[in-house]
């Protein structure tokens, strides 16, 4: 079995970089990155700057276009499908053309993944999403992830998932993301895994347990998927935990006790004597920073006239050096509550993070996004990215799986 990858919603190449750092023969055959409404496709351009472009099986280049316009049968065959797709509304209905067809909401990118799986049948898949995927939507908690599991089950895949706090596995950012590993049941790996029970999978025998070790699996809860994806969309509710396993429509989930590693501290990734443009030098702006980071109680009124008090606690200001960074958002560097503000190691003055520091938070090489894009887009791209070393950890386990397939 070849070590070939297709990377959807590729951003600036976090998945690809994570696998290439293994130096174990992984080859990306095709990728797709397109930012709707953007005049310049900065992330796509950055990806191509590092890795070059990828033709489809007809020798044509469509990597920087809307993935929904791509004929999935023209994507090169691959062993592993990867992608960090957004958390959206995954509800579906039966299509008008066929009682068995599915019709999801337009623009929801999960259906592009599903269409790719149907067309190319990759034996293995790794996906990344926000941690709230497991709880959404609020009015039918667990439905969205249930729809994803139902789709994969219908296509004869089993699935593992884990919510990973990157700082608990050595990274410099307390970023929580849901990683999803799906594999075809007819692979050698699938047949071996079918011999284990859910606790074995979550504790020691699954890819997630080997990539992100745990000390214990807490009380396991169980649910069963309806065979009809539309029925799951309409009725399914379930309290998914941080870890879990689905096979043949049977869902098992539990919180786990992570075997935590020492994190990288924020102070370890900071540069000294940063460029003056990153410092907070204006008194009025400093007052705004202090206000945004502080505790608040603000009277508000809802649309129906209900009066309530919006409250939020304080955020450390500046961010402490002796902890990993907080989760970085696409708004990083702008004047808002979530932006990191640090004391510069060289001057002691307060400033925002530099683009290089945001790259370090995500585990990229220094100046990865220094490819001609403006600073604002460098922050945006890093806020959208994943923590690269987490991918490499999963890749190491997948190396062994592929070797056994061969």
Catalytic sites, residue numbers: 87
Q: List for the chain the helix, strand, coil content (%; round to 5).
A: 35, 20, 45
Query: What tokens appear for 391 in the block?
Result: 């991918």
Distance, in Å, from the CA atom of 73 to the CA atom of 258, rounded to the nearest integer, reads 40
3-state secondary structure string across 110-161: HHHHHHHHHHHCCCEEEEEEEHHHHHCCHHHCCHHHHHHHHHHHHCCEEEEE
Residues ≥6 apart with Cβ < 8 Å to 289: 280, 317, 335, 341, 350
Residues ≥6 apart with Cβ < 8 Å to 337: 292, 293, 312, 315
Longest CA–CA span in the chain (Å) reads: 67
| Dihedral sign of CA atoms 47, 52, 53, 56 in order | negative
Distance, in Å, from the CA atom of 339 to the CA atom of 346, rounded to the nearest integer, reads 20
């Amino acid at each position: 079995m070849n070590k070939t990858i297709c990377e959807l919603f590729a951003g600036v190449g976090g998945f690809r970089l994570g696998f290439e750092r293994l130096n174990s023969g992984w080859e990306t055959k095709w990728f797709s990155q397109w930012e709707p409404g953007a005049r310049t496709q900065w992330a796509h351009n950055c990806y191509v700057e590092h890795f070059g472009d990828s033709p489809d099986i007809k020798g044509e280049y469509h990597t920087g276009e809307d993935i929904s316009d791509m004929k999935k049968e023209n994507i090169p065959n691959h062993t592993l499908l990867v992608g960090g797709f957004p958390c959206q509304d995954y509800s579906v209905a039966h299509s008008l053309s066929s009682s068995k067809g599915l019709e999801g909401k337009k623009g929801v990118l999960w259906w592009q993944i599903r269409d790719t799986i149907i067309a190319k049948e990759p034996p293995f898949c790794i996906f990344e999403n926000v941690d709230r995927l497991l709880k959404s939507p609020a009015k039918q908690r667990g439905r969205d992830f249930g729809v994803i599991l139902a789709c994969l089950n219908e296509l004869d895949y089993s699935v593992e998932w884990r919510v990973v706090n990157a700082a608990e596995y050595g990274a410099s950012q307390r970023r929580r993301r849901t990683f999803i590993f799906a594999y075809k049941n007819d692979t050698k790996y699938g047949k071996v895994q079918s011999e284990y029970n859910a606790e074995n999978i979550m504790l020691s025998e699954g890819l997630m347990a080997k990539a992100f070790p745990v000390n214990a699996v807490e009380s396991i809860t169980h649910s069963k998927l309806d065979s009809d994806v539309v029925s799951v969309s309409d009725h399914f509710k379930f309290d998914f935990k941080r870890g879990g396993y689905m096979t043949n429509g049977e869902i098992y989930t539990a919180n786990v006790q992570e075997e935590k590693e020492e994190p990288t501290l924020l102070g370890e990734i900071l540069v000294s004597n940063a460029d003056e443009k990153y410092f907070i030098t204006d008194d009025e702006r400093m007052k705004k920073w202090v206000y945004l980071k502080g505790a608040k109680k603000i009277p508000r009124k809802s649309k129906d006239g209900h009066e309530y008090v919006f409250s939020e606690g304080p955020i450390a200001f500046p961010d402490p050096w002796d902890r990993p960074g907080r989760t970085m958002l696409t708004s990083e560097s702008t004047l808002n509550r979530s932006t990191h503000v640090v004391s510069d190691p060289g001057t002691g003055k307060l400033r925002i993070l530099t683009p290089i520091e945001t790259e370090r938070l995500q585990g990229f090489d220094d100046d990865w996004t220094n490819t001609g894009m403006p600073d604002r887009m460098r922050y945006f791209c890093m806020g959208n990215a994943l923590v690269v070393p987490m991918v490499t950890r999963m890749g190491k386990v997948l190396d062994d799986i592929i070797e056994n397939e061969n």
